[in-house]
């Protein structure tokens, strides 16, 4: 039997990690594997997406660490609204014309946050403009060559298969917060009801 080889997790420079105040995620290809299921239920259009449960816990940890979270996607989907509500994502922007730079710029103006305090996790060409401007551009493992070329952090996992969790853990480890968040989470689940 071949021994398991551990893949080294990506690392983020601690000063950069501490500068981040807002973490933005694309959806298709980042929070999902990029596939969609379209159907019809009684004459109504239905769109389904598959999300990774471990990614969700990573996003929850970001919020518990005091970071603001946002989804900026180029598709409109009730599935995204449902998942964002479930995870208590702070800001959700669904723009079918994929104008992510002006959408993110307006959000930053409203929040009083500079571009250098933003991490953006993306995978494809609609993300490129935002990735070129933010302080921490992140590419998932299945990102296009153009996205990988501008990303300062390249994840090993693919969208919908743990990439978001990999990023959340790397960011929170660099900030020195991961272990404490894990212990708090575990202790809360060990308590008697």
Model pLDDT for residues 123-174, shown as the tens digit of each residue: 999 999 999 999 999 999 999 999 999 999 999 999 999 999 999 999 999 9
Name the strand (E) or helix (H) holding 181: helix 178-190
**Total number of domains constituting the chain:** 1
Examine residue 125 and state whether it is found in any structural domain, yes or no.
yes
- Alpha carbons 49 and 118: distance in angstroms, whole number: 26
Examine residue 2 and state whether it is found in any structural domain, yes or no.
no
Examine residue 54 and state whether it is found in any structural domain, yes or no.
yes
Examine residue 7 and state whether it is found in any structural domain, yes or no.
no
Examine residue 144 and state whether it is found in any structural domain, yes or no.
yes
Examine residue 137 and state whether it is found in any structural domain, yes or no.
yes
pLDDT at 7 over 70: no
- pLDDT band for 6, please (50, 70, 90 cuts): very low
Give the domain CATH number at 69: 3.40.50.1000
- The pLDDT value recorded for residue 4 is 47
Examine residue 3 and state whether it is found in any structural domain, yes or no.
no
Kindly report, residue by residue over 15-69, the tens digit of the pLDDT: 999 999 999 999 999 999 999 898 988 998 888 999 999 999 999 999 999 999 9
Query: 172 lies in which domain range?
Result: 14-190
- Alpha carbons 178 and 122: distance in angstroms, whole number: 22
With 0-12 / 13-18 / 19 or more C-beta atoms within 10 angstroms meaning exposed / middle / buried, residue 80 is buried
The distance between the two most distant Cα atoms of the chain, rounded to a whole number of Å, is 56
| Cβ neighbours, 10 Å, residue 160 | 23
- The pLDDT value recorded for residue 98 is 87
Examine residue 48 and state whether it is found in any structural domain, yes or no.
yes
| Cβ neighbours, 10 Å, residue 42 | 5
- The pLDDT value recorded for residue 11 is 87
What does the CA dihedral 65, 78, 94, 72 come to, rounded to 10 degrees?
A: 30
The tally of CA atoms less than 13 A away on the side-chain side of residue 85 is 6
Which residues lie below 8 Å from residue 94, measured CB to CB, with a gap of 6+? 71, 73, 75, 76, 77, 80, 81
Kindly report, residue by residue over 65-117, the tens digit of the pLDDT: 999 999 999 988 899 999 999 999 999 999 988 899 999 999 999 999 999 99
């Amino acid at each position: 039997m071949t021994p398991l080889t551990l893949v080294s997790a990506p690392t983020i420079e601690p000063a950069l990690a501490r500068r981040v105040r807002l973490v933005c995620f694309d959806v298709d290809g980042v929070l999902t594997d990029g596939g969609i299921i379209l159907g019809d239920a009684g004459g109504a259009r239905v769109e389904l997406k598959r999300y990774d449960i471990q990614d969700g816990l990573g996003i929850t940890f970001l919020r518990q660490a005091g970071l603001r979270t946002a989804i900026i996607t180029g598709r409109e989907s009730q599935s995204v609204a449902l998942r964002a509500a479930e995870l208590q994502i702070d800001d959700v922007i669904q723009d079918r014309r994929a104008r992510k730079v002006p959408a993110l710029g307006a959000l930053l103006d409203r929040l009083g946050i500079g571009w250098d305090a933003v991490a953006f996790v993306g995978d494809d060409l609609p993300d490129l403009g935002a990735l070129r401007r933010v302080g921490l551009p992140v590419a998932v493992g299945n990102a296009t060559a153009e996205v990988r070329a501008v990303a300062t952090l390249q994840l090993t996992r693919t969208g919908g298969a743990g990439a978001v969790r990999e990023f959340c853990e790397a960011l929170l480890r660099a900030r020195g917060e991961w272990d404490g968040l894990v212990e708090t989470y575990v202790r809360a689940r060990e308590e008697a009801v």
